[in-house]
Amino acid sequence: MKGRRGRLRLALAACAVYALLLSLSLHARSAQPRGEQATDVGRVVSARVDRTVTVRSADDARRAVLEAAAEGRKVSIAGTRHSMGGQTFYEGAVVLDLKRYDRILAVDEQARTVTAQAGATWADIQEAVNPLGLSVRVMQSQNLFTIGGSLSANIHGRDPSEGPLIAAVRSIRMLLADGSIVTASREERPELFRAAIGGFGVLGVILEATLELTADEVYESRTSLLSYREFPQRFEQAARSPDTGLLIARLSTAPEHFLERMYMTEFRRTGLPLASADRELKQDRAVELTRFVFGLQRKHDWGKSLSWSLQERLFRSEQGGLVTRNNAMRPESDFLDYRDAQHSDLLQEYFVPLSRYEAFVDGLRALLREEPLNVVNITVRYMPQNGESMLSYTASEDRAALVLLINEKRSAARLDRLERLTQRMIGLAQSLGGTYYLTYQPYATLEQFRRSYPGWTELAAAKRRYDPGSLFWNDWYGKYGSEEGGGRR
C-alpha cells in the first residue's frame, strides 16, 4: 500500500511540474511580440511585420489592403526582395507578397507589347516572347526580378539607347488605398504614372503592366581591353553608334591594377536572320565552378586577380561570337546566390556624367585606399537622360552608371563604417554632378537624398492625393520621403 501511495505522490508531483513548465512556456510565448521578422537579400535592415499575405488575385490584394486599413496597420509590398533599403517592409505592417501573382496576360505581336501581372519575372516574359521573335526593351542584367519590383525601382539595363524602365512602359494598373483599381499612363492619370514608377510602393499596389517590346536580333560580341582614362570617349562612341544593341563594361578590382584597367563588351547588330544564332533560351552552365571562382574573389585579393585573368582569356575565346538579344540579356546569375551566416553581398550604384568619370574613379580609388572595402566587382552601364519618373536618377543628362558589389560582414561596427563610407562616396558623386541609386542600403543622409532627388516633394504631393491616410508605407519612405524629414509614423 505504501509503495502504491509513493508512486501516486510521485506521479502527482510530476504532473505539477509539467503544469508549471507548460504555464511558463505559454506565458513566454504570449510575451513574445506578435508577427514575423522580415528582411531582404542584403539582410542588413529588417523589421518585425504583423503578417505576410500571399497574393494570388486582385481580390486577394484588395481584401488584404482593406483589412489592414481597418486594423490601423500600414501596408508594404514585396516581390523577390532585392531592394536593399527597407522598401519591402515596415514595423507592424501587413506585407503583400506578389510573387504568386505571376501570369503573362497577353502578348500583342503586332503592337509589340506584353501585359503581365506584377509577380511575373523577366524570365517569364522572355519565355513568352522569344518564340515570336520579340525581346524585352529594358531589364536588369539578370532576369530573376519581378515586374512589379522592377517598376517600383524604375530599374535600367544594358541597352544604351534606352533609358530607365519607365521609357518602355505603356501603362500600369494599380490598387489604391480606397480599394479601387485604376489605370495610369502618360495619357490617363499621368501624375500617378510618374509617381508610382520609381516610387517604391508608397502610392499603391502595382497589379499589372503593359510593356513595350522590341525585335529580337542577332548580335556579334566584341570585347576591348582599355584604361579607365580612355574609357569615357570610347564608351560614349559605342553608346551612340546605331550598330550597338547592348553595352556593358567592367572596372578591375584586382590589386595590381585597382580601378585602372577595364574591359568593354559591345553587342553589335549584324542584320543576320535569327536562324544564324541559337534561338533557344540558354540556361546557366558550370554554376558550381563559377560560384567557386566568385567565392575566391570575395575572400582573397589573389582571387580577384585570378578572376580578371580568366575573364580576359574567356573574352579572347568568345570574340566575334553570335548571340541573340534574348540570350545576351540572360547572363548567368545562379552563381550569385550567396548565403553566409556573417557576411552579405551588397550593391551600391553611382551615376556620374561621362565628362567626370575619370575624376570619380580617381576619387573612389583614393577613398578606398584610405579606408578599404572588399569591393568584389564593378560594372559600368550607359544611362541616357530621362526625367519622367519623379525620382529620376538621370533627369538632366546622360550618365555612366557604376554598380559596386561589396562583400561585408554584418556586424554593427562594420555596417556603421560602411554607412560612413557610403556617405563619402555619395558626396564624391554629388560633387561631380552625379547622384546615387535609391534601391540599396539606406545610408545617405537626408540632405544627400533631397539634393539628389529634388522631385521628392512632387512625390510627397502625389502621395497625399492618392493615399491621404498614408496606408502604404515602408522603412525607406519613413526615413527619406515623409514631409517630417525622416522617422517613423
One DSSP character per residue, 92-111 reads: TPEEEE-TT---EEEEETTT
Q: What is the pLDDT of residue 32?
A: 36
- Contact present, 318 and 367 (Cβ < 8 Å): no
Question: Grid coordinates representing 390?
Answer: 519623379
Query: What single-letter DSSP state applies at residue 33?
Result: P
For cell 489592403, the residue is: 65
Which residue in 101, 120, 115 sits closest to 61, CA to CA?
101
CB environment 8-21: b (16+ within 10 A), e (fewer): eeeeeeeeeeeeee
- Give the span between the Cα atoms of 147 and 3, in whole angstroms: 74
Q: How far is CA 117 from CA 101, 148, 179, 195, in A?
A: 6, 8, 18, 19
Indicate the pairing of strand 51-54 with strand 94-97. parallel
Sorted by sequence, the CB contacts under 8 Å of residue 326 that are 6+ apart come out as 126, 129, 130, 135, 136, 216, 279, 281
Ranges assigned E (strand) in 320-417: 322-324, 343-352, 375-383, 399-409
Q: Which residues contact 357 (CB under 8 A, 6 or more apart)?
A: 228, 231, 232, 400
Element of type H or E holding 59: helix 58-71
pLDDT computed for residue 9 by the predictor:
55
User: Which residue type is seen at 431?
Assistant: S
Provide the CATH topology of domain 218-441.
Answer: Alpha-Beta Plaits (3.30.70)
Q: Which residue numbers in the chain have pLDDT < 70? A: 1-34, 284-286, 331-336, 483-489
pLDDT for 317 equals: 76
- pLDDT of amino acid 3: 53
- For residue 359, the model assigns a pLDDT of 99
Quote the CA–CA distance of 475 and 82 in Å, as a whole number. Answer: 15
The SS3 call for residue 407 is strand
Report the pLDDT value the prediction gives residue 56, as an integer from 0 to 100.
98
Cβ 89 vs Cβ 119: under 8 Å: no
Residue 197: Cβ within 10 Å count: 26
